Amino acid sequence: MRRDPRLRALLPATGAPLSWNLLLRPVSEQPAPPLDWLGAILEPPLLPMLLAAGWVPPLPRRLLEGHLKRFPPLMAPLLLPPPAVWERCRSLPPLTPQQQASLQDLWRETTPDPAPGTPG
């Protein structure tokens, strides 16, 4: 949008589905989650870079607002819309136990078995 002023971004008046990114791993693998990496992306210099690329992590609004003050006034509200816009959005509810079991079965069916001699 900065390179081509003809482009416009719009937020729907009636709301829209929210988008979430998930980190998944098979049950058979038990490595520790990459906590150092996850922690590093929530602080400068990575957080401002991610925000500039359009990725907004699920952090408290007050923390994100501080970083977005440095963004152009037209861009910041697109990355972190006002609360009224969020209230118009829809999100998928948590999975029921049956849905969760079905997805776990699908994951197991599509994930190769661990090599012999490996845990799992």
Render pLDDT for 32-85 as a digit per residue (tens, 0 to 9).
777 887 788 888 888 888 888 888 887 888 888 988 898 888 888 888 888 887
Residues of the chain with pLDDT > 70: what percent?
72
Total tally of structural domains belonging to the chain: 1
pLDDT of residue 89 exceeding 80, the answer is no
pLDDT at 17 over 60: no
Q: Is residue 21 part of a domain?
A: no
Q: CA-CA distance, 45 to 27, in Å (whole number)?
A: 33
78-92 burial by CB neighbour count: b if 16+ within 10 A, else e? bbbeeeeeeeeeeee
Asked if residue 10 belongs to a domain, the reply is no
Q: What are the Cα distances from residue 88, in Å, to 12, 18, 75? A: 9, 10, 20
Is 68 domain-assigned?
A: yes
d(CA 114, CA 30): 12
Is 18 a member of any domain?
no
**99 is a domain residue:** no
